[in-house]
Chain A
Amino acid sequence: MLEHMHAGFVAAFSYSNLGALTFGTFVGIVVGILPGLGPMVGMVVLLPFSFAFSPDVALSLLLGVFCGGYYGGGIPAVLLRTPGVPSSLVTSFDGYPLTQKGEAQTGLSAALLGSFGGGIISVVILIFLAPLLAHVAASFGPPEYFTVAVFGVVLVVMAFRDQLGRGIMLLGLGFWFSTVGIDGTTLSQRFCFGTLVMQNGFDIVPVCLGLFGIGQTLILVERDIMKNHDIQLSRSSLDFSKLFKLFKYWKTLIRSGVIGTFVGLLPGTGSILASFLSYDVAKRLSKEKSLFGKGTPEGCIASEAGNNAVPAGAMIPLLTLGIPGDALSAVLLGVFTINGIYPGPLLLVKEPVLITTIYFSMLLINIVAFAMLVIWLKPFAMIVKVPGKLLAVVIMVISLVGIYAVNTRLFDAGVAISMGVLGYILLRTGWPIVTLVMGFVLGEIMENRLRETLSLGDGSLMILFDRPICIFLVIITILIILVPFMLDLRKSRKKKPAN
Chain B
Amino acid sequence: MSEKPSSASRVHDLFGSVLGLFALVMLVSSPWQVDSSGPDPFYKGPLIFPLIVFSLILAGALPSMWRLARPSIHASWYLDGHGRSFKTLTILGLLILYPAGLLFLGLEISTWLFLFIVLKLVKQDSLLKLTIIPILVTMILFVLFKFFLDVWFPEPLLMEPVKEWAIKLLGE
Closest B residue to A403 by beta carbon equals: B99
User: Across the interface, do B115 and A430 meet the contact criterion of CB distance under 8 Å?
Assistant: no
Partner of B12, one of A166, A191, A443: A166
CB distance from B52 to the nearest CB of A (A): 8
Taking CB atoms, residues of chain A closer than 8 Å to B115 are: 393-394, 397
Chain B 1-39, CB-CB to A under 8 Å as 1, else 0, gives 110110101011001100110010010000001111110
Taking CB atoms, residues of chain B closer than 8 Å to A459 are: 41-43
User: Across the interface, do A397 and B50 meet the contact criterion of CB distance under 8 Å?
Assistant: no
User: Across the interface, do A393 and B119 meet the contact criterion of CB distance under 8 Å?
Assistant: yes
User: Across the interface, do A408 and B152 meet the contact criterion of CB distance under 8 Å?
Assistant: yes
Taking CB atoms, residues of chain B closer than 8 Å to A405 are: 145, 149, 151
Closest A residue to B137 by beta carbon equals: A394
Chain B count of residues within 8 A CB distance of the other chain: 72
Bound CA–CA A428/B145 (angstroms): 32
Taking CB atoms, residues of chain A closer than 8 Å to B56 are: 168, 171-172, 175
Taking CB atoms, residues of chain A closer than 8 Å to B63 are: 165
CB distance from A197 to the nearest CB of B (A): 13
Taking CB atoms, residues of chain A closer than 8 Å to B156 are: none
Bound CA–CA A430/B45 (angstroms): 36
CB distance from A68 to the nearest CB of B (A): 21
User: Across the interface, do B82 and A393 meet the contact criterion of CB distance under 8 Å?
Assistant: no
Taking CB atoms, residues of chain B closer than 8 Å to A450 are: 48-49
Bound CA–CA A189/B5 (angstroms): 39
User: Across the interface, do A401 and B107 meet the contact criterion of CB distance under 8 Å?
Assistant: yes
CB distance from B170 to the nearest CB of A (A): 31
Chain B residues 40 to 98 lying within 8 A of chain A, measured CB to CB, are 40-46, 48-50, 53-54, 56-57, 59-64, 79-80, 82, 85, 87-88, 91-92, 95-96, 98
Taking CB atoms, residues of chain B closer than 8 Å to A162 are: 7
User: Across the interface, do A163 and B137 meet the contact criterion of CB distance under 8 Å?
Assistant: no
Bound CA–CA A176/B25 (angstroms): 13
Taking CB atoms, residues of chain B closer than 8 Å to A23 are: none
Partner of A176, one of B50, B80, B91: B50
SS class of chain B's interface: helix, strand, loop or mixed? Answer: helix
Q: Is B133 an interface residue (CB 8 A)?
A: yes
Q: Is A429 an interface residue (CB 8 A)?
A: yes
Bound CA–CA A398/B53 (angstroms): 34
Taking CB atoms, residues of chain A closer than 8 Å to B127 are: none
Partner of A393, one of B37, B50, B59, B124: B124
Closest A residue to B50 by beta carbon equals: A179
CB distance from B27 to the nearest CB of A (A): 11
Which of A333-341, A363-371, A410-418 forms contacts with chain B?
A410-418
CB distance from B1 to the nearest CB of A (A): 7
Taking CB atoms, residues of chain B closer than 8 Å to A413 are: 98-99, 102
User: Across the interface, do A451 and B16 meet the contact criterion of CB distance under 8 Å?
Assistant: no
Contact flag A400-B152 (CB < 8 Å), given A176-B50, A428-B5, A451-B43: no
Report the contact-size class of chain A (Cβ under 8 Å from the partner).
35 or more
Q: Is B122 an interface residue (CB 8 A)?
A: yes
Contact flag A173-B19 (CB < 8 Å), given A223-B82, A393-B118: yes
User: Across the interface, do B57 and A166 meet the contact criterion of CB distance under 8 Å?
Assistant: no
Partner of A165, one of B16, B34, B145: B16
User: Across the interface, do A172 and B23 meet the contact criterion of CB distance under 8 Å?
Assistant: yes
Bound CA–CA A163/B112 (angstroms): 42
CB distance from B126 to the nearest CB of A (A): 10
User: Across the interface, do A454 and B7 meet the contact criterion of CB distance under 8 Å?
Assistant: no
Bound CA–CA A446/B19 (angstroms): 22
Bound CA–CA A64/B103 (angstroms): 34
User: Across the interface, do B61 and A169 meet the contact criterion of CB distance under 8 Å?
Assistant: yes
Chain A residues 378 to 419 lying within 8 A of chain B, measured CB to CB, are 387, 389-390, 392-394, 396-398, 400-401, 404-405, 408, 410, 413-414, 417
Q: Is A424 an interface residue (CB 8 A)?
A: yes
User: Across the interface, do A393 and B99 meet the contact criterion of CB distance under 8 Å?
Assistant: no
Taking CB atoms, residues of chain B closer than 8 Å to A183 are: 46
Taking CB atoms, residues of chain B closer than 8 Å to A186 are: 38, 40, 44-46
Bound CA–CA A392/B95 (angstroms): 12
SS class of chain A's interface: helix, strand, loop or mixed? Answer: helix
Partner of B49, one of A169, A179, A189, A404: A179
Partner of A221, one of B12, B26, B91, B145: B91
Partner of B141, one of A175, A179, A190, A401: A401
User: Across the interface, do A397 and B137 meet the contact criterion of CB distance under 8 Å?
Assistant: yes
Bound CA–CA A96/B9 (angstroms): 34
Taking CB atoms, residues of chain A closer than 8 Å to B59 are: 168
User: Across the interface, do B99 and A414 meet the contact criterion of CB distance under 8 Å?
Assistant: yes
User: Across the interface, do B91 and A168 meet the contact criterion of CB distance under 8 Å?
Assistant: no
Bound CA–CA A176/B95 (angstroms): 26
Chain B 106-132, CB-CB to A under 8 Å as 1, else 0, gives 010001001100110011100001000
User: Across the interface, do B149 and A52 meet the contact criterion of CB distance under 8 Å?
Assistant: yes
User: Across the interface, do B2 and A165 meet the contact criterion of CB distance under 8 Å?
Assistant: no
User: Across the interface, do B34 and A172 meet the contact criterion of CB distance under 8 Å?
Assistant: no
**In the complex, the 7 A-B pairs of residues with the closest C-beta atoms, listed nearest first:** A168-B60, A172-B57, A169-B60, A188-B35, A172-B56, A454-B43, A183-B46
What are 7 inter-chain pairs, A to B, with CB distance below 8 A?
Answer: A35-B1, A169-B61, A172-B56, A188-B35, A188-B37, A191-B26, A428-B85
What 15 new A-B contacts, CB under 8 Å, besides A389-B124, A431-B15? A52-B149, A82-B1, A166-B60, A167-B60, A179-B50, A186-B40, A186-B44, A191-B34, A387-B124, A393-B124, A400-B95, A401-B111, A404-B99, A429-B12, A451-B44
Which residues of A does B touch, CB under 8 Å? 35, 49, 52, 82, 162-169, 171-173, 175-176, 179, 183, 185-186, 188-191, 193, 214, 218-219, 221-223, 225, 387, 389-390, 392-394, 396-398, 400-401, 404-405, 408, 410, 413-414, 417, 420-421, 424-425, 428-431, 443, 446-447, 450-451, 454-455, 459
